[in-house]
Structure 1
Amino acid sequence: MSDPAPRLHAKPPQTTPAHRKQLRALVREGVENRPGVYRMLGPTGTVIYVGQSRVLRTRLLSYFRAKGRRNKAARILRHAFHIEWEYTNTEFGALLRELRLIKQYRPHFNTMMVMDEWPRAYVALTGGSVPGLRVVARSDEPSAVALFGPFRRVARLRDAVRALAEATALRDCTLEDTVRGTGAGRGSALWFAADPTTKPRGSARSRAPGCLRHDLGTCAGPCIGAGHPLPYRKAADDVRLFLDGLSDAPVRLLETAMQQAADALAFEKAGVLRDRLELVRWLHERVQHFHANVDRLTFRYHAFGHAEAEWVYLIRRGTVRAEVRAPRTDEERAAFDALVTRVYEGADPGGADVPTHDLDEFYLVASWFRRRPEERKRAKSPRST
């Protein structure tokens, strides 16, 4: 008899009770009760979970008291073959380090638990030769040049992004989906990149299979070689300004179009435009709120950590740019002042926006001070003494 076929979806390997007992002894003997982060590793050394605590030893030992197959801590520990840890200067530093490690390793259990907490999505303006609007699930979406969120009302966000795309004639598809199986789409993408001033070769009549939004008049159809690149890129620039909180052009565009439809007694069309306008206004309000919060999160944060040592976090536009021990000597003060100057007066590497890769960090910082108003009192202006 032949051997049975291998299982395609085998369960991840689990540790034995004896091995977990060894891990518990390792924690009891080696970990101190101070702020820090820990990493749970699988059998091959892959990081499967990252966590943090202001009392690291107590937190790790709580895993070994967890019971039940559905308990989160017990479930993680069953798959942990090794535990690593490191100390941080403060509890805030532990949260920051945890976030950065999660973004570096993307551990399985962290990802699954975030997805289980609540659905969320981001609105992204993609780059490349044919920019477009998309709703994405990840804060580190590689195709995005502008990214905002997260939004909990995912269905509402999708409707709003579609309304914004229809108002500005930008595509909201993926280029690959649009041009799959056609030569015209790939040619138009190359044309957009090569010569933005020339009329596209070919015509909409020769395309296959076509673009429904272009046929309905709500997309310029760049992926199928329709339209002209200069107006399209102007529309993409307007949407970028809209997402940056610097323009309400799509709102005004819809208001004008709705009024014109009403004046022409095209009430059905006016009703469609009214619904789009409501969605775009909703998105605009949230973008404005986001940027207002970003502008408020620029300061020095003085925090006390292990052994009452004072640490200073230099925060600019919601992201931590430096973490240093509070100066105690004239020499340390001079070095500290020079660092403050570089961080707050130098060119912001993120430009006018929060850098895409720092979006999660912005929300961590905002959440920390929102949930701990007493810590906000420790914040000082960048140049205060």
Structure 2
Amino acid sequence: MSEGRAPSEQQDEVGFDGRQFARSLPSLPGVYRMLDAAGEALYVGKALALDKRVASYFSGKPTSMRIAHMLSQVASMEVSITRTEGEALLLENELIKSLRPRYNILLRDDKSYPFVHFSAHPFPKVGFYRGSRKVGGRFFGPYPGAHAVRETLALLHKLFRLRSCEDSVYSGRSRPCLQHQIGRCSAPCVGLISEPDYAESLRQAALFLEGRSDALVEQLTERMQEAAQELKFEQAAKARDVIARLRGAQAKQFVEHADADLDAIAVELRGYQACVVVLSFRNGVNLGTRSYFPSIGSEVDEPELLAAFITQHYLQVPPPRELLVEHELAEREVIEAALGETCGRRLRIRHGVRGHRAQFLELARKTAQASLTSRLDSGKLQQQRLQSLTDLLGVAEAPQRIECFDISHTQGEATVASCVVFGTDGADRSAYRRFNISGITPGDDYAAMQQALSRRFRQAAERGELPDLLLIDGGMGQLKQAISVLSELGIANLSLVGVAKGEERKPGMETLVLPDGRELRPGPQSLGLQLIQQVRDEAHRFAITGHRGRRAKARVQSTLQNIEGVGPKRRVALLTHFGGLAGVKAAGVEELSAVEGINEALARRIYAALRGIDEEGMGQEGEQQA
């Protein structure tokens, strides 16, 4: 590997001459670093051919505002030549972690992941472990978070009665502890279980952690039957109880293949805020999810964020055999090769998956949406964004109550208006309202907005529920409807802002329209605009959810008798399996699919019909209807 830096004569009063620098580079793989005037790293990137990659930045118009802004600060560049592109990928990751460049995607370096640990002892302790794995014993994991480990340990101790105490406590016991009394430890400390019997419990626990629950259940079933035949009913009852708990654990994990070894990775991007969620399965066991909030610092797209996350994350953590993503990655083969080389086995990155794998991705995506929403609602960040919004709009005080209205319909059908409310602590979902719009020309968004605002504000002044800031999703046309309604109702001194979509509908490029005709374009880095985006997006989501529900109710009746494909035999099977219609309504798609004669497609149809939604809108939560 060799290093190079831009010669001093290539930097003059005009600025850095990127074209000249690119012409001096070889057509070899390597890593380049862009530096500002103070020598601080702006960006680190890798390339198969350094000359072509660097030249692409300085030939023609920059592809985005982010790139243009970055290039305007470049004072010099450095390069490191590598033998392969895979080696360049590894070096790029190390430099990103050490230099923390302003324009790279930065993932917090979390070096310590939790494991389930069987200690090296004649009667091993089974417990939580985080740190170096140089200590003796056996490890299972890593798990995505401490909560997943503790849930697993609670189940292990309940199922197999394995000790959880430290060796110092174990050696000093003279009588069984509380864990034995509540049935979570077999008390090897006082000799209530032999070493071979404890080893057998430990073997069963290992089978469970390895995802081989089916084999374990078969073994326990045989022992239960043998014990019953020998009239050892207490032993048979214990085996029966363990089998029942194992079945419950299997149902919660819901994995198609017992040997599933994969991570489903989903991304949620809102302006300059991002969340990446990893849903992990190891040996068929669902280890749960973990959320990451990388620092992106500039405008990126989801494939770019995914590639950066995968590279940085799995060079710290052993990857599974399979990674599921929602987007095709431009450098998928390079990343697969580099990560495969570090872990010593083949790794596949797959997108466009179907079946259960698609469901895993959907679960990860919903978790990412919820996690980012929760983070954006956090107190400290919310206060910063409120203050930024106050400065942006030039008002005297930060708004304590923000309301936003949006309209949703399908070619004029089932028009619904939404009103969402945000306070100083974030979304106030108990105050959300929907308005079913009627008596207007289908598709007339202006009339729909006027009707919704009239219904909302007719008695608002008397009840003291006026917002400090009213956001309208739309431009001047929609804003005029709000001005007209408020004027007719005699409501004054209410801040109004129209939120018009920006160029190519890109997030962060919105135009804020004020009643006096002024237009503000604060840009994607504005915390105030990020808050407005969050409120507007929530109003949009809430309106679409209401519209889909209203549209589906007009098309589908929510009784088993009227669901296509559910005849008398299947109705009896459903009602018998779940103990009545209430049980059927409470069941999920996977539980419905487990009933004899009900496939997944029919289960989804039943689930949707009993909730008054269409299959497209499945998964959206119900909220208050005005």
Tell me which interval the TM-score lies in, with the shorter structure as reference length.
0.3 to 0.5
Whose RCO is larger (CA < 8 A, sep 6+)?
A: 1
Q: TM-score, normalised by structure 1?
A: 0.39
Higher helix share: 1
Rg larger for? 2
